[in-house]
Amino acid sequence: MVKKMVFVLFLSIFLGFILKGEDCEKAKRYFDQALNIKENEPLGLFKKEQLYKKVIELCPTYAPAFNNLGDVYEKQKRYEEAIAQYKKAMELRPDSPYPYFGLGDVYYKTGRYKEAKYWYEKGLSCENRYKPADDKEREALKKEFALTREYMKSIENVLKDGIIKADTIRAILTPATTRGAGEIVSITFGEELIPFDFDKYNIREDAKPQLNEIGKFLEDLFSGEKSIAVEPNTFYVFEIAGHTDIRGTDEYNLELSKKRAMAVKEYLVRKFNIPEERLVPKGYGERSPLCTEGASEKEETPCNALNRRVEIIRKTGEVITVEGRTSIVTRGRGGIIEQKIILDTGFFYQKGGETLVNALKEGSILHSKSDKYFIFFKPEQDCYVYILQEDSKGNLEILFPEKGINAHVKKGQDYWVPSFGRAFTLDETKGEERIYLLATSSPLDSLIEGQNMENTIKIAVRSFQAQSISTRAIKVVRPKNLPQNITPQEVERLSNMIEQIEGEGGWVRIVRFRHE
């Protein structure tokens, strides 16, 4: 009996090794597929993320997949997730410089220069230990080491000067080379350099020394712009990104961070000779945190302080003319022109037995079976829309589009979800519920055999969650027909609760509410 058990166990282990070998071969095919996806194609990073995750699922010892997934997260500004992937790659291949450089880059871009220096030094120490696969990699790696040493010089200047001087800002934002295509060139100023009072957006006196250094750099850059090597017919545009901690609602923090970014722009344009159209203020609210462990909605913490920051991101702009109108557009990750996507949206609910319609938002409380909720949206351009609901246990359900229906939506058309005159009710799984409305310029196609659409949309939600959106209240024309149980007076109220959301390329609107 014992011998038989040992034989079965041995056979199981043996078969496990065979299957694992087959899985790793399949994983390598997915990995090669991911490498061949260009970041400047529609949803390039989203596609890469799907594939690298599948590689790791099939072959969890494949270090390059962890490293490259970290690179994807870094470019999506999902920094904590990037750090975790780079560290896993480092554990699997401690002799490889790539994950060390990746970790250094994350800390460098986010203004944590002592940590960046530590990881860069670790990576540089691999120079004589790591064996490149061929001459092509050997030459590429030489450039990586040289670039890292340039970054180290900038770090030394920052640590020496206290504030970040104009010359150092120039070295960081206009380097001769970068890590590669799709690389985010940015610099972060923590609240010790550009502070704001709680719940305020006015420029404080102690923020002006650092802002003046930024202004000197930009004024000097634009005054000598002809000497800057940019692609023909293009030029530099700088995004001013505001970030908050998690205290307050998602919507409120988006607005506060945008006001802070706008205040920085107005100060720079007023004090320095900087073309106004070359600075683009955006608010990211709490959506792109540098840390989540230790973040608190109730009290001040070091993690909260780290997340409050201003970021300057270098982008490429170009002038385009459409239907006789000239405007500046910017290129985002991978050089993609960021198409604006604008939707009028409304999230609504009715208490059981009542006709009054309320706006569904953070703080709303809905009850199982009796309360009803529904969603409205109207796109200003053709695009793709997905609406996903997640309950407190992580269960996912697609609210739009219905199974078998294309997610493509048409400009100017009203969409009611689940349909006009109908509503959803809740099951018995209580706790926090989230509704994600995801708008993209391209369809979400799963590249993984057998992956369901719910998980594909959830991956996309995480991919686009760090994108900036702006909202504003609007008044829309009432529909010709009325949903059941809603009076004309209620439709008037409903119209006043609709907001317009604007973002670029792809974005997510998140609505949280309590299910009791």
Residues 136 and 178 in one domain: no
Looking up tokens 């530590």 gives 118
Tokens read off for 234: 């293009």
CATH of the domain at 122: 1.25.40.10
Asked whether the predicted pLDDT for residue 36 surpasses 70, the reply is yes
CB-based contacts of 223, cutoff 8 Å, min separation 6: 273
How confident is residue 113, by pLDDT bands cut at 50, 70 and 90? very high
Residues 383 and 497 in one domain: yes
The distance from CA 433 to its chain's CA centroid, rounded to whole angstroms, is 21
Question: Across residues 208-217, what is the average pLDDT?
Answer: 96
Burial 284-296 (b: 16+ CB within 10 A, else e): bbbbbbbbeeebe
Report the pLDDT value the prediction gives residue 261, as an integer from 0 to 100: 96
Residues 368 and 452 in one domain: yes
Q: What is the pLDDT of residues 145-189, one digit of tens each?
A: 999 999 999 999 999 888 999 999 999 998 877 776 667 789 999
Q: What is the pLDDT of residues 53-64, one digit of tens each?
A: 999 999 999 999
Secondary structure letter of residue 246 according to DSSP: S
CATH of the domain at 284: 3.30.1330.60
Residues 399 and 319 in one domain: no
Q: Per the domain annotation, does 100 fall within a domain?
A: yes
Q: Per the domain annotation, does 173 fall within a domain?
A: yes
**Which of 126, 159, 192 represents a domain boundary (last residue)?**
159
Task: Give the helix/strand (H/E) hosting 269.
Answer: helix 250-271
The whole-angstrom separation of Cα 82 and Cα 88 is 10
Q: Per the domain annotation, does 55 fall within a domain?
A: yes
Q: Which percentage of the chain shows pLDDT scores above 70?
A: 84
Residues 91 and 216 in one domain: no
Among 40-49, 330-339, 405-414, name the most confident range.
405-414
Task: Give the helix/strand (H/E) hosting 8.
Answer: helix 2-35
Residues 484 and 509 in one domain: yes
> Are 430 and 393 within 8 A, CB to CB?
no
Q: What is the pLDDT of residues 281-290, one digit of tens each?
A: 999 999 889 8
For strand 365-366 and strand 506-515, is the pairing parallel, antiparallel, or unpaired? parallel
Q: Per the domain annotation, does 454 fall within a domain?
A: yes
Helical segments of 125-249, H only:
135-161, 166-173, 208-223
Helix, coil or strand: residue 312: strand
The distance from CA 483 to its chain's CA centroid, rounded to whole angstroms, is 36
HSE-CB at 119 with a 13 A cutoff on CA atoms is 20
How confident is residue 460, by pLDDT bands cut at 50, 70 and 90? confident
Q: Per the domain annotation, does 313 fall within a domain?
A: yes
Asked whether the predicted pLDDT for residue 302 surpasses 50, the reply is yes
**Which of 114, 144, 159 represents a domain boundary (last residue)?**
159
> Are 68 and 180 within 8 A, CB to CB?
no
Helix, coil or strand: residue 120: helix
Helix, coil or strand: residue 28: helix
HSE-CB at 171 with a 13 A cutoff on CA atoms is 18
Q: What is the pLDDT of residues 241-277, one digit of tens each?
A: 999 999 988 888 989 999 999 999 999 999 999 999 8
The whole-angstrom separation of Cα 514 and Cα 516 is 6
Q: Per the domain annotation, does 1 fall within a domain?
A: no
Report the pLDDT value the prediction gives residue 12, as an integer from 0 to 100: 37
Number of domains in the chain: 3
Task: Give the helix/strand (H/E) hosting 378.
Answer: strand 372-379
Report the pLDDT value the prediction gives residue 294, as an integer from 0 to 100: 87
Burial class (CB in 10 A: 0-12, 13-18, 19+), 413: exposed
Asked whether the predicted pLDDT for residue 237 surpasses 60, the reply is yes
Report the pLDDT value the prediction gives residue 227, as an integer from 0 to 100: 44
Tokens read off for 478: 């009432």
Number of CB atoms found within 10 A of residue 386's CB: 24
Residues 145 and 10 in one domain: yes
Residues 302 and 389 in one domain: no
Q: What is the mean pLDDT of the chain?
A: 84
The distance from CA 109 to its chain's CA centroid, rounded to whole angstroms, is 15
* Residue (of 345, 499, 314, 360) closest to 437 by Cα position: 345
Query: What is the value of pTM for the model shown?
Result: 0.80
CB-based contacts of 373, cutoff 8 Å, min separation 6: 347, 348, 349, 350, 360, 366, 423, 424, 425
Residues 246 and 223 in one domain: yes
Asked whether the predicted pLDDT for residue 505 surpasses 70, the reply is yes
Average the pLDDT over each of 29-43, 84-98, 232-246, 326-340 and give the range with the smallest value.
Answer: 326-340
Residues 326 and 347 in one domain: no
Question: Which residue has better confidence, 496 or 355?
Answer: 355
End-to-end CA distance of the chain: 54
Looking up tokens 């529904």 gives 374
Residues 125 and 177 in one domain: no
Average the pLDDT over each of 105-109, 466-470, 492-496, 503-507 and give the range with the smallest value.
Answer: 492-496
Asked whether the predicted pLDDT for residue 195 surpasses 60, the reply is yes
**Which of 105, 129, 159 represents a domain boundary (last residue)?**
159
Q: Per the domain annotation, does 470 fall within a domain?
A: yes
Looking up tokens 């990881």 gives 119
Asked whether the predicted pLDDT for residue 72 surpasses 70, the reply is yes
Q: Per the domain annotation, does 136 fall within a domain?
A: yes
Residues 302 and 175 in one domain: yes
Q: Residue 105 sits in which domain range? A: 6-159
CB-based contacts of 391, cutoff 8 Å, min separation 6: 427, 429, 431, 433, 515
Report the pLDDT value the prediction gives residue 399, as an integer from 0 to 100: 95
Q: Which percentage of the chain shows pLDDT scores above 90?
A: 53
